[in-house]
Amino acid sequence: MMGASSGEDKEGVGRLRAMTRMLSAVIVTLLLGVAASAGDEAAAPTKLVYRLTTEAGREPSGDEGRTVVDVLARRFRAAGIEGIEITRSKTVGELTVAVPAALAPKLDAIRGLIERAGTLEFRICATHEETRIQRVLRTRTDSLRPRELLEYLWVPASDGAPDVLVLTPERVARAALEEFIAKQTVPDPAATARARKRYEDVVRDEVFTGDQLDSVSVRSATWGHVVYFGFKEDRKQPFAEFTARHVGEAVAIIIDGKVHSTPNIRSKLPGEGIIEGGGEGFTEQEAKDIAAVLGSGSIPGRLVRVVAPETK
């Protein structure tokens, strides 16, 4: 009896050990499967889908779509971000930006680079007295003459401060040209050419934008970081004359439709200058982001995200 009982016990122990090994193998397999699944999920990129919208509300062209891809690629390179894939959809004006999982901590910064229009304008600020008067009249548009509606433009400040009133002489010149052409009962090509030349002179002398820049970089200063800019050769002299003509006046530096600073022009600038930023100035990262955007060109419209980021 003892022998039989011992044999049965040994057989039972063997079966128990075999079941334990089998159960362990199943658990290990399940754990490996979960780990593999988690690894696959972690490796999947975050996809951001955007649609290009134009100011006129028309359907964007194929050339504009290609321009957007080129501009974004330059921005990422300038910001030192690698590994992002940009693909155009079959839907006109739509594109997908695939951000690798390794860049997930930088997702907000990447979205900022994508969604900024990248526009830059230099506008002379209205005087304190002009601003005071226009601020009073702002709520009484019926009191404004048509010229005043064209001569000034209110631009929001980037830091939430009150809007800044800037001058827009090219709008006045454009309106004068259109009025001159409309009043002609008999076409006068020579007179029209002279009127058009007056408008073009105003644009040449008073309108300076980011697409005219030749170089943009970040430089350190005692109070923080600044963005250095230099104009293309054909715009250096006009900009120098522009600053000489407006010495003592404030110039609004407008980035993506918002005023970042309004420094006074102290002296003639030789076709270059710096953007200091308002308040305490730019942090190094802010300066780098602005330089990356301004130095890569502007987007021909606005990129609107059509779906939330998702991982597939």
3-state secondary structure at position 306: coil
Q: Tell me the β-bridge partners of 302.
A: 53
Q: State pLDDT tens for residues 118-171.
A: 899 999 999 999 999 988 888 775 555 556 678 999 999 988 889 999 999 999
What percent of the chain lies above the pLDDT cut of 90? 51
Residue length of the chain: 312
Averaged confidence pLDDT in the chain: 83
Q: State how beta strands 46-53 and 302-305 pair.
A: antiparallel
Whether residue 49 is predicted with pLDDT greater than 80 in this model: the reply is yes
> What does the pLDDT read at residue 34?
46
CA gap 53, 92 in Å, rounded: 10
Q: State how beta strands 213-221 and 152-155 pair.
A: unpaired
CA gap 242, 272 in Å, rounded: 12
Residue 20 banded pLDDT, cuts 50, 70, 90: low
Cβ neighbors of 253 (< 8 A, separation 6 or more) are: 120, 121, 122, 259, 260, 261, 262, 263, 275
Average pLDDT over residues 201-230: 91
pTM of the full structure: 0.75
Return the higher-pLDDT residue of 19 and 68.
Answer: 68
CA gap 76, 107 in Å, rounded: 12
> What does the pLDDT read at residue 32?
40
Q: State pLDDT tens for residues 234-251.
A: 999 999 999 999 999 999
Both tokens assigned to 217: 């970089």
Residue 43 banded pLDDT, cuts 50, 70, 90: confident
Whether residue 8 is predicted with pLDDT greater than 80 in this model: the reply is no
> What does the pLDDT read at residue 79?
87
